[in-house]
Homo-oligomer: A and B are copies of this chain.
């Protein structure tokens, strides 16, 4: 990785991605070897908006490395309410911790904050911006079963608003992956994302229907279609129903298809899929721990070396 902060997955090279995934695999293979690795180190959790899953996952990762965490608490209870700037908050917090995880509702917040602190800062989501550890755990999950080359990956659902989807699509351009985007017309991938993907030379196709492309997919990445995107309740139900996965849908899939989902899900994947070999989404969530352990390990080790 060779950098002090982790702000975006967009500027990660194939080599640096693979280095993180290899380290995560090593951790997964022998977690006990890492149990005391950062004993005494403190990670600050600064979540300016709630994100239980991401927070618990980083919290767990740090503790599995032998370290501890201190939590800024909610914005409602913090100095932010008294008018403190983000720059001031992180400069105070860096005096407490060896690294900072920052979640913020505003795009660009993590980059800005990182310029004020000397300890490593990890972006855990900044609005419509980046969430690099999510992308890395997605890649890790894909790679575990299917490798990362000569793959067909379908990404389905809300492709318009999904930060997770855009970030994953960008990251996949580092690998020999055919990308299929499946969505209703109204939730298509935004023009600028399509443009960037084409510029990068990625093999991209768009579909409004899963049926045609499903048989060739190695991975089907499903995302949540949010009710609030639709002015009309009936339209929402019609569309959500069309992009719902159940056992019958998957009859046409390859036996080794990975069905993924960033979770939480609502109705996008029927519970009956949970017990099939296709279902990888809980495993995917669990992979957040070794991947974030790998990230924290790299950043903390580097920071210690520089001191």
Contact = CB atoms under 8 A, between A and B. Distances in A.
Interface string A52-84: 110111011001101010111110111100111
Contact of A92 (B35, B55, B91, B282): B282
A190 interface: no
Interface string A263-275: 1111000010000
Given A42-B60, A52-B78, A264 B84 contact: yes
Interface string A27-53: 000001001000110101000001011
Contact of A265 (B77, B88, B93): B88
A142 interface: no
Given A60-B42, A91-B282, A52 B68 contact: no
B282 A95 contact: yes
Contacts of A59: 70-71
A175 interface: no
A276 to B, nearest CB: 15
A72 B56 contact: yes
Number of copies: 3
**Interface size range on A against B:** 35 or more
Looking at A52, A77, A88, A264, the one whose CB has the most chain B CB atoms below 10 A away is A52
A289 interface: yes
Contacts of A73: 50, 52, 55
Given A60-B96, A87-B271, 15 more contacts: A44-B56, A52-B72, A52-B77, A53-B79, A55-B73, A56-B71, A60-B97, A63-B68, A74-B77, A79-B263, A82-B224, A83-B266, A88-B264, A95-B285, A95-B288
29 contacts: A32-B40, A35-B39, A35-B40, A40-B64, A40-B66, A42-B60, A42-B64, A50-B73, A50-B78, A52-B79, A53-B79, A56-B70, A57-B96, A59-B71, A60-B70, A63-B70, A79-B263, A82-B224, A83-B266, A84-B265, A84-B266, A87-B271, A88-B263, A88-B265, A92-B285, A92-B286, A95-B282, A95-B285, A95-B289
Interface of A: 32, 35, 39-40, 42, 44, 50, 52-53, 55-57, 59-60, 63-64, 66, 68, 70-74, 76-79, 82-84, 87-89, 91-97, 224, 263-266, 271, 282-283, 285-286, 288-289
